[in-house]
Chains A and B, each alone.
Chain A
């Protein structure tokens, strides 16, 4: 016995979702038409579900690639215990290398003996400049007149020459 008119679409939807009120639920259970509508709706939803799953289906390679990509991005973040203790031997190894290099350095570059000093280029240039200066001083010392007084000496010499020639003229004139 049907106690009411057929359910509307909202009531069918509510029934499908398990949310129908008691009156609608009783009607659907009793009415073949409404029950058929509910079943049709259920099939539609099932088709929709199948279609969506179809849509999201991918070949196995896709999932493998996706998983590999995820795991590759996860791996650098992961801190394994191995890496945690790796720094200890790393530091020890570094110190050993440093000590070894400090010992090796004198062997590779031996300290020169005091007798055979190898001059560097700037040292050589300085030495040359000093030598030149000494030669110049030596030359200056050997001059009869210091270099600075040379012009004055020349003036005195010229005046003496003039005076001497005047004297000669004067004495020559008296003789004539």
Chain B
């Protein structure tokens, strides 16, 4: 079981108890260690590029560190970090929307690259095939979603956040989150169902 990130103590302490510059190297290292996997996972789901997700994850923590004095401890550290990560991903996609879609919207090469990246860690050919299949399913399911829907969907079903947490992270109203979530969920379910149907037909 992955360690949870609901540990605002270090950051809240840095923001409230210590001076604004007083967060120690060790405290921040601990925050990075506890949160980096989830931040990376969500960023990877949004931008669908492992190198870019890595870069944005690093940028997210840097931005958090620079703005640590703004963290008031009202939200969880994880929510705050997700907010930064999502803003970074949005900025990036906004700036590179054309290039992004040109590169990834219909690229099978990218899927294969990713599959190889992941498959490196897994020895057997069966495992490799399984990972490839899973990836294909995930990517195709997420492909039809808008960026906003993807964010909401990933936060809900991959990171298991509540509607309120998602609303806090994305700065949307809970009703809007629900609407996005409903549309995203319908699309993904339809897509996954089609894929299973295709598989069954084969």
Contacts and interface: CB of A to CB of B under 8 A. Distances in A.
Interface of A: 9-10, 12-14, 16-17, 19, 41, 44-45, 47-59, 63, 66-67, 69-71, 73-75, 77-79
A98 to B, nearest CB: 33
A19 B156 CA distance: 14
A47 B28 CA distance: 33
Interface in B8-58: 21, 25, 28-29, 32-33, 36-37, 40-41, 44-45, 53-54, 57-58
A17 B182 contact: yes
Contact of A74 (B45, B57, B62): B62
A67 B32 contact: yes
Contact of A9 (B28, B40, B45, B186): B186
Given A57-B118, A67-B29, A51 B137 contact: yes
Given A17-B185, A54-B118, A75 B25 contact: yes
B96 interface: no
Contacts, number: 104
Nearest to B115: A55
A49 B142 CA distance: 12
A174 B45 CA distance: 144
A63 B141 CA distance: 27
B137 A48 contact: yes
B21 A79 contact: yes
A49 B134 CA distance: 10
Give the interface SS of chain A, mostly helix, strand, loop or mixed: helix
A176 B169 CA distance: 148
Contacts of A53: 41, 158
B93 interface: no
B61 interface: yes
B189 A55 contact: no
A157 B60 CA distance: 109
Contact of B37 (A16, A56, A71, A73): A56
A77 to B, nearest CB: 7
Across chains A and B, which 8 residue pairs bring their CB atoms closest together, nearest first?
Answer: A51-B134, A56-B41, A70-B61, A51-B138, A13-B185, A52-B158, A56-B44, A67-B32
A57 B135 CA distance: 12
Contacts of B94: none
Contacts of B28: 71, 74
A14 B182 contact: yes
Contacts of A50: 134
Interface in B149-196: 154, 157-158, 178, 181-182, 185-186, 188-190, 192-193
A55 B114 contact: yes
Contacts of B186: 9-10, 13
A8 B174 CA distance: 24
B192 A44 contact: yes
A61 to B, nearest CB: 11
